[in-house]
Amino acid sequence: MKYMMFVVVDPDAEATPREEDITIEEWLEDVETHGTRVTGDRLRPTSDATTVRISKGEVLVTDGPFTESKEWIAGFDILDCKDLDEAIAIAARHPQANGGKIELRPFWPLGE
């Protein structure tokens, strides 16, 4: 079962250091060892983003998006897990879960 894991930065959230906190390198090593991560990366901030849409029959390109929300998606990982509990356990260990948040979205394969 594949899950898209969005790594979300929330400037309002505060991290409370915990003993079990690990670094992103340790997290990566962990998911590589277990073969639960298909791919993933960081994403440049929305100031480097470009929005493309068709407007009045023409391609409209704009800078952004700049939304009201202060949260932004800072990265993503595609997980391949047995079930949601395994994905939750992996997400909970991600350093950004403490101080930011992680969103898990199951894949919806075309044709299903």
Which residues contact residue 90 at a Cβ distance below 8 angstroms, ignoring those fewer than 6 apart? 5, 30, 31, 36, 37, 79, 81
Count of residues that bind another protein according to CB under 8 A: 10
> Does residue 18 bind another protein (CB under 8 A)?
no
> Does residue 106 bind another protein (CB under 8 A)?
yes
For the chain, give the number of residues: 112
> Does residue 20 bind another protein (CB under 8 A)?
no
> Does residue 9 bind another protein (CB under 8 A)?
no
Nearest to 77 by CA among 62, 54, 97, 98: 97
> Does residue 110 bind another protein (CB under 8 A)?
no
Residues 75, 40 contacting (CB under 8 angstroms): yes
d(CA 22, CA 1): 25
> Does residue 38 bind another protein (CB under 8 A)?
no
Site string for another protein, 47-86 (x = CB under 8 A): -----------------------------------xxxx-
Q: Which residues in this chain contact another protein in the complex, by CB under 8 A?
A: 1, 82-85, 88-89, 104, 106, 108
